[in-house]
Amino acid sequence: MKRSLKAILIITLVVLADQLLKTWIKNNMYIGQEFNIIGNWFIIHFTENNGMAFGMEFAGEYGKLFLTLFRIAAVAGIGYGIHYVIKHRYPFGLVIAASLIFAGALGNIIDSVFYGVIYGYSTLLHGRVVDMFYFPVVQGHFPSWFPLWGDQEFVFFRPVFNIADAAISTGVAMILVFQKKYFRVMEKPPIEEDDTQSEVVEA
């Protein structure tokens, strides 16, 4: 299978899984509802956010609009990047990482662009991103002598996220860990994937 088709397959599977789960959550749960999957540390918790990954907010309505437009521009740039690394035969791990980042960004863009209109609570480009995965693996309280957060509740991992966020984080982590391998200096000129060399036959 060609690298480009593999990249498309990765993107399609991630976006499809992300949107199917979000749609199920939206149609079967109410905001704040949760149920335990594994003990008290793997929980499905339905929440929505107006901002960035893992529930972070960004400067109100105008910030939301800017963020949505920025995501669209970023996805276009990442899409070109995927085309570039495939064309120039970079390691396939980089193609996978870029495809995961692209798919995650696209999954959250769909929420931001369309969910407000589809579910009737806002206008185009002002939808809220659906999150559901919550992993409060470690819970407790900071000691009273601890600076700034003394006696306050401590939860790790607190942010609620979705499949798209996980895909972005995985792709970024792959690039950080394997950057020397992915971006090594090419010893030979790049070879386009679908190029064929024609032979000139002289009579």
Cα–Cα–Cα angle for 113, 100, 62, nearest 5°?
30
Q: Which of 18, 111, 151, 165 is catalytic?
A: 165
Contact 186, 87 (CB under 8 A): no
Q: Would you say 146 and 35 are in contact if contact means Cβ atoms under 8 Å apart?
A: no
3-state secondary structure of 7: helix
The question of whether 111 is a catalytic residue gets the answer no
For 67, the token pair is 């963020």
Query: Distance between CA atoms of 144 and 141, rounded to whole angstroms?
Result: 9
User: Which residue out of 18, 111, 131, 151 is catalytically annotated?
Assistant: 131
Instruction: Establish whether 151 is a catalytic residue.
Output: no
Which residues are annotated as catalytic? Answer: 131, 165
